[in-house]
Amino acid sequence: MTGLLWLASLLLVGLSGLPLLLHRAFAGYPLSTRLVLAGASGAALVSFAMTAAVLLGIPWNVPGLVAAGAVLAAGLRLFLKPALVFAADAPRPPEPGESPRVLAAAALSLIAVGAALGATFAGAATSPDLLFFWGPKAQQFALARTFDAAFMRDEFHQHMHAYYPPLVTNLGAFASMAAGRMSWTGATLTFPLLLVFLAAGLPGALADRLGRAHAAAIAALTIAVISCLGVEADIAGNGEMPLLLFETLAIALLISDAAAEPPTQLIAGILLAGAAATKVEGLPFTISAAALFFLARPRASRPFWPAAGRLILPAAVMLSAWFAFGASRRIFFGYSGYGTLFDLHLDHARVVLAAVGRSLSAAGHALPWLVPLGCVLAALPLTRRWILPVGTAAILTAFFLFTYIHRPEDPSLWISWSAARIFSPVAMLLALAASLGSRGEPRPASP
């Protein structure tokens, strides 16, 4: 029962995003997509409100945080012109036989979510990191109703990784405060819960470019990729699923026709900020996705500076607040590395590549990467938009390999329990890139 209450309380953060997503600029999205975008934006904004409250010395309380998130969303709404015409407003005539295809895709997504739910219930997908530090930190912060600086600074709490971005522990603490205590079952069930949200919201985010049937099919592929990966790499309860939720929705928006519209860019910026506030690797994702957007979509990203502000400023503000907390309490001053920067151990390169290969093979015979890669190859040649998802995947891959090669000791063991998880966004990006084939485009697309 506590688990259900814990999970249900997370829906409250979605309320915070509603003032923004109720703006008519988003009327072109289906209701399910608007609600999911509101939930994801609300989660990022409530997390930011929690960090800001700590900086201001205000103890957390659940209604106050929901209200603060809603005020932030209402404030962001002021940046949107009331009379904006949204690209997706133009109704698209249904294709012949569209409904059965949409239903078939929805059924596949449902099976994938069911597999994730079953594995999570069975205790077959739980991340040990939930038990080691995500959960204990969230629990401690909920009890303290703030970031417990003494707890984070303690020399025997180094395994808690004090510098890790705050969103996962913030939302865990939020739910624990609302439910009265931490729920381990509730925390693990965030995996299927966020997956079902993604299944509900993703088709609508892709539909303006692809049409309903194609969007539903590519969404089903993406959901199946994440479900399979999550079960095989044990991501239930850790930061991977929130990270994938933010990243998937952000990239889906940025490769859509609506990405030329400021409101879509603003929501994508908030989602990228959510990713950067979730895990360390969310930051290189955010930077590369924002930068590659300008390369992949030169016309959609004009004028440059306002678009850059919408995509990057939310992440800059959220991470600045986090590092301001760390520095002001003298706990951390940036992300911790594993050695001196550019002190690479190239003699480990072969070991690293072999270990990464083994780790990906152990996660469902690498099918979660190979299947979307096959779909990309089948879709060749791609439109120019491919630069965004494929380029981001390439930069992430380089970043992870750089991180592994950076460590002075043999990184094989570390890679064995981390690679499948951290490479999961690469699989998701390939799945979305598969939708960018240039042959038989359902609708002429602008770059």
Partner 1 sequence: MTRLRAVWFAGAAALALFPLWRFFSRPLAEQLRLPITPVDRVDGARARQWRFLAESRPHVPPRASFTVLAADSDVEMALYMMSFGVLQDGVPLPTRYYGNPTPEFGREAKYVLAFDLPEAPEPEDRLRLIARVPGGAVYERTRAQ
- Under the rule (CB under 8 A), what is the footprint of partner 1? 101, 104-105, 108-109, 111-112, 115-116, 118-119, 121-126, 128, 130-133, 135-136, 139-140, 143, 156, 158-160, 182, 184-185, 188, 213-214, 217-218, 220-221, 223-225, 227-228, 231-232, 234, 237, 364, 367-368, 371-372, 374-375, 378-379, 434-435, 437, 439-442
The minimum distance between CB 101 and partner 1, in angstroms, equals: 7
The minimum distance between CB 204 and partner 1, in angstroms, equals: 17
Q: Please give the Cα distance from 290 to 398 (Å, whole number).
A: 17
77 or 358: CB nearest partner 1: 358
220 or 270: CB nearest partner 1: 220
Angle between helices 240-254 and 424-433 (to 10 degrees): 20
- Tell me how far CA of residue 364 lies from CA of 225, 367, 377, 412, in angstroms: 11, 6, 20, 19
- Tell me how far CA of residue 131 lies from CA of 91, 200, 227, 304, 421, in angstroms: 48, 29, 21, 44, 16
132 or 294: CB nearest partner 1: 132
The minimum distance between CB 153 and partner 1, in angstroms, equals: 15
Cis bond upstream, residue 19 (ω within 30): no
DSSP string covering 331-376, please? S-SS---SSSTT---GGGHHHHHHHHHHHHHHTGGGHHHHHHHHHH
Beta carbons of 428 and 247 less than 8 angstroms apart: yes
Q: Please give the Cα distance from 109 to 111 (Å, whole number).
A: 5
Q: Please give the Cα distance from 282 to 396 (Å, whole number).
A: 10
Compute the CA torsion angle 276, 384, 357, 229 (nearest 10 deg): 60
223 or 388: CB nearest partner 1: 223
The minimum distance between CB 239 and partner 1, in angstroms, equals: 16
Q: Please give the Cα distance from 411 to 373 (Å, whole number).
A: 27
Half-sphere exposure of 197 (CA within 13 A, CB side): 26
Compute the CA torsion angle 267, 269, 275, 281 (nearest 10 deg): 160
The minimum distance between CB 177 and partner 1, in angstroms, equals: 14
The minimum distance between CB 123 and partner 1, in angstroms, equals: 3
Nearby residues of 255 by Cβ (< 8 Å), 6 or more positions away: 209, 296, 385, 388, 389, 432, 435, 436
Using the CB atoms, write b or e for 110-131: b if 16+ within 10 Å: eebbebbbebbeeeebbbebbe
First and final C-alpha spacing in the chain? 50
The minimum distance between CB 299 and partner 1, in angstroms, equals: 23
75 or 118: CB nearest partner 1: 118
The minimum distance between CB 196 and partner 1, in angstroms, equals: 13
The minimum distance between CB 341 and partner 1, in angstroms, equals: 24
290 or 371: CB nearest partner 1: 371
The minimum distance between CB 118 and partner 1, in angstroms, equals: 7
How many Å separate Cα 327 from the centre of its chain? 26
239 or 263: CB nearest partner 1: 239
The minimum distance between CB 131 and partner 1, in angstroms, equals: 5
177 or 213: CB nearest partner 1: 213
228 or 289: CB nearest partner 1: 228
25 or 434: CB nearest partner 1: 434
101 or 345: CB nearest partner 1: 101
